[in-house]
Structure 1
Amino acid sequence: MSELASNSTAATAADGRRQRAHLRRATWVATLGGLLFGFDTGVINGALPFMVDDLRLGAFAEGLVASSLVFGAAFGALLGGRLADAYGRRRMLMVLAAVFLGGTLGSALAPDVTVMVTSRLILGLAVGGASVLVPIFLAELSPAARRGQVVTRNELMIVTGQLLAFSSSAFLGGVFGDSHGIWRWMLVLGTLPAIGLWIGLHFVPESPRWLAARGAFGSALRVLETLRPPAAAQGEFAALKALAIEDRRQNRASVGDLREPWLRRIVVVGLGLAVIQQITGVNSIMYYGTRILDVAGFGTQAALTANIANGVISVAATFVGIWLLGRVGRRPMLLVGQIGTTSALLAIGLVSLLVPEGTARGFLVLALTVTFLAFQQGAISPVTWLMLAEIFPMRLRGLGMGAAVFVLWMVNFAVSLSFPILMDAVGISNTFFVFVVLGVAAIVFARRHVPETRGKTLEELEHQFKETVDGRRR
């Protein structure tokens, strides 16, 4: 008997290792979409100073080139959520991998501003789609106890992609200097993870929750059994099957659903989270960090190298954020992050106003942008993407998150388009003071309206919201 028990224990342990390996593989393959998101949004930071001369960009054209990707991303997010609900998370991620490849090649080979903006709009469709689909896919694959850490690996891959973009741009800029067309090589590197994503998705299962929502209960159970221990798979399957049957009795999600107070509250929270994540001004630093440091006192080459610090701290802070999400609530993390970023922006504005231009001011601004990113990437961004992936009910998940991320990208577009224009018009210090005012508004919203979601399954969260109207129990 003891030998049989020992063999059974060994088999169970081996099964557990296989299940964890399947989940890890699915997670890391899917988050290549996040790596592409980060690389393609970050690479413009280093490429833009070289592109300005080659393509003869003025302030408006510079803002348009940087922000065209973001504008496309807004519509990619809106369409991506709907298409993922109709055709599946995995299938749409494969389509997005092909769009990433085409948009990257188009922008790298662009002969003029028109082709560049068009290619970056196409690339933006893929970035926006990935920003919706990857967190949803990860949330639906992961167990409740590990959902925070699994979903925020996507945020880790986003900032890793940005760091790779900053580092590769600094390397190419340092080695080849002002060589004609060096920015094209900076951009074309994004083709590699796009190819990796398309290949890797052939070895990843579909979301069990999407399968259940389509009535494919047998397939949903088989996927869960590859990712969970048997008892956990059966228990989770029973809950998602019951909820899928309940949701299928209702009409397809639409704007008319907002007549229900609990759904209206979720949508308000989702849209609010999207707005407050962007009005910190994070992407003014991610897109224009090299220019900010140049204006602060570094030269262009030194600014390219110094900007790597922004990428390094983003990655390090995201590791901290992933660790914290397993130990503290989402809501307090968000509030601490908002207070920290707003304080850092205020300090950047004051330093830019009071300290004379030179290397000392440059290093002070660099230290403060690093501090800003520590709060942003260590708290605000991971909490935002995680909560957007988990608060919407199954039948509204693609539509709801698509709408929220559409708003997020449109606010991002407004920030990235207006930032160089504001800097030229009112100067760097007053530009950052504008973001300070917006940051105070974000703190007020987070304190009043954002709920706590830690420690609950997606199905439990849905039932919790249904039982709550305007923050009070019925």
Structure 2
Amino acid sequence: MSNLSSGSPDVGLMLGYELGLTSGVLLQLRGILSLSCREQELLVGSLLLGCLVISIVGGWGLDRYGRRWSMLLSGGLVAGGTMLLLLPASLTTLSLGRAVVGMGTALSGTAACMYIAEIAPRERRGLLVTLYELMVVVGVLLGFGCSYAFSALPNGWRYTFGLVLPPAVLQAAALVLLPPSPRFLELRGIQAGLKEEAEHGFRELFSDKANLRRRLLTGVALVFLQQTTGQPNLLSYASPLLRSVGFHSDAAANLASTGFGVVKVVGTVPAVLLVDRVGPKSFLCVGAVAMGMSLVTLGAVTLQSHTHLTSLCQSPVGLNHTYQGQDLNTPSSGLDYSSFKLITPPPGESQWNGSDSAEALGTKREDAGMGSGVRGQGHVKWISLVSLLVYVAAFSFSLGPKPVVEPAIEPV
């Protein structure tokens, strides 16, 4: 049982770490590679694309080769994808590496939950499943923290990516010592239970027997609402989002985003400890109200500021333009004045309007993502940060721990 406790939850740690590091690494890579908005979206979405592929074809491998071997394969995929990420930086290798890592984390997450449910004793099953969920949010915290710790280094993003290799090796070492779940079930003498399960088919889920159809729709709705809250996008773009509302350096934005990981851990602990006493429905209702109030507050604050949505994906240094034939280390005094053009006044205007030019310059700076609209408004960034933290905390004890909520509505 000790091996099970160290092996399967370690899978959750890797999944959470990969989700948490995305936003901090994105701040570094978009400046190094001069990534456009669309290229940044491709880099972020490649991880989810790998998860999608495995969700479609992974079930066949789980049934054919078992949960334990699937988790071993997932460790190899995570390690292989990470090695691709450590190669010389390019959008192609980074996207491919993230896709492979996404395949590994998705396969391991699905296999781990199934493996725990099949091999754990009934009295320990709930504890181990919730331990997996807790390890996911701990991994998110570590991802944010490592992104901040290495943000000041020239190649800090490489260290952030590479730190997932030790958990992958630990997972493989622990799983080698664990028995395959079907063999363990047979040794426990519950073949009758396996035969009874074999008599039930997939179509039975859509029947009125034991109210299965309503239970299925409720479970699907919970998963759908979990994703449509935007929480995965918030994790992926936390640092760029915080930078746009007033945290004007990568280190400050990464440090502020680390608070997301802290509140996710703090918010998940009550759900793990009190869900059986309070009930999942109460957590869902309270969490939904808190998320709604925090989003209304965030929207009202940012509406009053001059934050532009286009600034979320624009690098404040490179401004998403690739400079060719120019040394990026050249001091600012060596500007290429050929890129500057005089603005001809419109017909009917014979004098230069200084106020109009200043206004136009200010608009350009805002559009370039410099955050001039929020500069000097310190309360905006702190209210935005607190609203986001409340939103993340409310999600963490309501829709976040779905492995805790779903067993309460599904038949045993």
Q: What TM-score range do you get, normalising by the shorter chain?
A: 0.7 to 0.9
Of residues 398, 404, 408, the one that matches 1:386 is: 404
Amino acid at match of 1:260: S
Give the 3 Å change call, closer, same or farther, for CA 28–344 of structure 1 in structure 2.
farther
The alignment partner of 1:173 has SS state of coil
Larger Rg: 2
1:297 has 2:315 as partner: no
Shift of 1:64: 1.0
Match in the other structure for 1:338: 288
Do the aligned partners of 1:77 and 1:131 also contact (CA within 8 Å) in 2? Answer: no
Tell me the residue number matched to 1:229. Answer: none
* Residue equivalent to 1:204: 178
Give the superposition deviation at 1:372.
1.1
- Normalized per residue, the structure richer in helix is 1
Query: 1:79 Cα deviation (Å)?
Result: 2.7
Counterpart selection for 1:118 from 92, 96, 100: 96
Amino acid at match of 1:363: W
Select the residue among 237, 244, 251 that pairs with 1:288: 237
* 3-state SS of 2:400 partner: helix
Equivalent in the alignment of 1:311: 261
CA distance in structure 2 between the partners assigned to 1:257 and 1:203 by the alignment: 36
CA distance in 2, matches of 1:258, 1:330: 22
Which residues of 2 match residues 54-453 of structure 1 at below 5 A?
A: 54-174=32-152, 176=153, 179=154, 181-207=155-181, 211=182, 219-222=184-187, 224=188, 237-238=189-190, 241-249=191-199, 260-262=207-209, 264-299=213-248, 300-355=250-305, 357=374, 358-382=377-401, 384-387=402-405, 390=407, 452=409
Residue deviations 1:264-316 (CA, integer Å, cap 9, x gap): 44543332222111111111221111111111111122111111111111112
**Equivalences for residues 13-24 of structure 1 within 5 A:** 22=1, 24=2
Q: Which amino acid aligns with 1:339?
A: V
Structure 1 residues 147 and 248, CA gap change in structure 2 (3 angstroms):
closer
- Are the counterparts in 2 of residues 298 and 359 from structure 1 also a CA contact under 8 Å? no
Q: Which amino acid aligns with 2:163?
A: L
For residue 307 of structure 1, give the secondary structure of its aligned residue in structure 2.
Answer: helix
Q: Quote the Cα distance in structure 1 between the aligned partners of 2:297 and 2:88.
A: 39
**8 A Cα contact 2:215 2:409, kept in partner:** no
Q: Deviations over 1:381-431 (max 9, x none)?
A: 11x13355x4xxxxxxxxxxxxxxxxxxxxxxxxxxxxxxxxxxxxxxxxx
DSSP 3-state at the match of 2:394: helix
* Residue-by-residue CA offset, 1:74-107 (whole Å, 9 max, x unaligned): 2223333332222211111011011110011112
> What is the alpha-carbon distance in structure 1 between the residues aligned to residue 146 and residue 279 of structure 2?
36
Cα displacement (A) at 1:330: 2.4
* C-alpha displacement of 1:26: 0.3
Asked if the contact 1:348–1:368 (Cα under 8 Å) also holds between the matched residues in 2, the reply is yes
What is the percentage of aligned positions where both structures have the same residue?
A: 26
CA distance 1:75–1:380, change in 2 (3 Å)? same
Q: Of 14, 30, 44, which aligns to 1:36?
A: 14
CA distance in 2, matches of 1:96, 1:295: 36
Q: CA offset at residue 352 of structure 1?
A: 1.1
Q: Which amino acid aligns with 1:200?
A: A
**1:38 Cα deviation (Å)?**
0.8
Alpha-carbon separation, structure 2, partners of 1:267 and 1:81: 19
Contact 1:168 1:186 in 2 (8 A): yes
8 A Cα contact 1:77 1:130, kept in partner: no
